[in-house]
Amino acid sequence: MAHRRAFVFGGSEGIGLAVAERLAAGGTEVVVLSRSQDRLDAALARLGAGAHARRVDVTDADAVGQVVDALVGEVGVPDLVVTTAGYARPGWLDELPAADVTGMVATNLLGTIHVARAVLPHLRAAGGGTIVTTSSIAGLTGLFGYTVYSATKAGVVGFSEALRREARPYGVRVLVLCPPNTLTPGFEEENRHKPAEVLAAEESVRTLTPEQVADALVAALRRRRGFLVVPGRDSRLAALTIRHLPAVVDRALRRPADQIR
């Protein structure tokens, strides 16, 4: 791995932890950040000596800025920042709990922005680095049952694309990771809230492991080019179809009318 030091937000479990493990195994000094101290302690036990952890909630812009500044003073400027913090609460729009509507916006979209705003001045001053944000296949096309989640993840793609163009003159590279359904603790919780039509529509969708997603990201980092990172062959085919055959995608992703009560 070419990266000396990485900050991984949301790195205490799921995709973030798998990424942190891959980076640490490659010799990168890793700092994992999460709002759960118990999960951070468990992550450190898996990552071993040389890893660091800090507690922070990405929805708190001031706290993110303070933690990043303190870490830079303690361990140095990262040349890689990965933010995977986020969650999905599926359900029909008019039935979603208000707390989850604002929570997904605050965590998935604003949390991503807060991290980027906190680390960008340090990367710029250091002469460059890489920022990886995390969207989703649901950020590339709207999925019924995921109205708010799709909106937040589409926002992450748009934000990342704009940031890529804004930060490029400073030597800052931006990638956006767009995984499909992934077997994380968050996915297990998500499944408990999915409407029957959503579950039925996902029966034929391949689910990846966090390690498979992490491997795809590490491979993309090594290529030193590209922007959109879509793990899995089926997902890459879906992304191409979304881009070039939107009418086909629209027909395939409509909510089945015969199941509406």
Residue 261 predicted with pLDDT over 70? no
d(CA 239, CA 92): 24
Residue 32 predicted with pLDDT over 90? yes
CB atoms within 10 A of CB 149: 27
Top-confidence residue, 90 or 255: 90
Q: Using a pLDDT cut of 90, give the percent of the chain over it.
A: 82
Q: What confidence score (pLDDT) does residue 58 get? A: 98
**What tens digit of pLDDT does each residue of 16-31 get?**
999 999 999 999 999 9
Catalytic-labelled residue, pool 136, 149, 160, 235 = 149
Q: How many residues does the chain have?
A: 261
**What tens digit of pLDDT does each residue of 34-89 get?**
999 999 999 999 999 889 999 999 999 999 999 999 999 999 999 999 999 999 99
Q: Using a pLDDT cut of 70, give the percent of the chain over it.
A: 98
Does the active-site annotation cover 149?
yes
Which of these CATH numbers, 1.10.3470.10, 3.40.50.720, 2.40.50.180, 1.10.3720.10, describes 5-259?
3.40.50.720
Domain boundaries, the chain: 5-259
Contact present, 8 and 84 (Cβ < 8 Å): yes
Closest by CA position to 139, among listed 173, 112, 165, 164: 112
User: How far, in whole angstroms, is CA 9 from its chain's centroid?
Assistant: 9
* Triad 55, 58, 59: Cα angle to 5°: 125
Catalytic-labelled residue, pool 135, 136, 150, 235 = 135
Query: Which residue is associated with the tokens 């070419």?
Result: 2
Q: What confidence score (pLDDT) does residue 256 get? A: 78
**What tens digit of pLDDT does each residue of 223-253 get?**
978 999 999 999 999 999 998 888 888 888 8
Residue 7 predicted with pLDDT over 80? yes
Closest by CA position to 125, among listed 163, 180, 76: 76
Does the active-site annotation cover 153?
yes
Contact present, 12 and 43 (Cβ < 8 Å): yes
**Crossing angle between the packed helical segments 111-126 and 147-167, to the nearest 10 degrees:** 10
Q: What confidence score (pLDDT) does residue 143 get? A: 92
**What tens digit of pLDDT does each residue of 146-192 get?**
999 999 999 999 999 999 999 999 999 999 999 999 999 999 889 89
**Crossing angle between the packed helical segments 111-126 and 61-75, to the nearest 10 degrees:** 30
Question: Long-range contacts for 245-252 (Cβ within 8 Å, ≥24 apart)?
Answer: 246/141, 249/141
Catalytic-labelled residue, pool 12, 34, 146, 153 = 153
Does the active-site annotation cover 204?
no
CB atoms within 10 A of CB 37: 12
Q: Which segments of the chain are extended strands (E)?
A: 5-9, 29-34, 52-55, 80-83, 129-134, 172-177, 228-229
Model pTM?
Answer: 0.94
